[in-house]
Amino acid sequence: MISKNLGRPKKTIPESYENVILKKYERYRLNALYLEKVIYAEDRVRIPHNTIHNVLKKYGFAGGKQVSRKEEKSGPMYERKQSLTARAYGLA
């Protein structure tokens, strides 16, 4: 039987981190990436932006799903037929 508790266990976010994140968000109203930089600059505490985003989601300040770069790019903007001569397309 395969165990249900597979994978790396989730780290709990300390309440002190949550307090810092919420205070800075109330003051600056920035997204997770910029809050990460502000918190480090002012408090010298490194909190990853993913953690900040999860805290903001927990309290309803952030949107839901993050779109990956792969999903964002649907296909090539321009694609020409392969040709051995670029002269046929006026590129030479």
Average pLDDT in the 27-31 region?
Answer: 96
Report the predicted TM-score, pTM, of the whole model to 2 decimal places.
0.65
In the chain, which ranges are continuous DSSP H helix?
15-28, 32-43, 49-58, 69-72
> Do 55 and 13 meet the contact criterion of CB atoms below 8 Å apart?
yes
Average pLDDT in the 15-40 region?
Answer: 96
Assess whether pLDDT exceeds 70 at residue 24.
yes
Assess whether pLDDT exceeds 70 at residue 53.
yes
Task: Pick 20 or 1 by higher pLDDT.
Answer: 20
> Do 45 and 24 meet the contact criterion of CB atoms below 8 Å apart?
no
Hey, where are the domains in the chain?
Answer: 13-65
Q: Render pLDDT for 57-69 as a digit per residue (tens, 0 to 9).
A: 999 999 866 666 6
How confident is the prediction for the chain on average, in pLDDT? 85
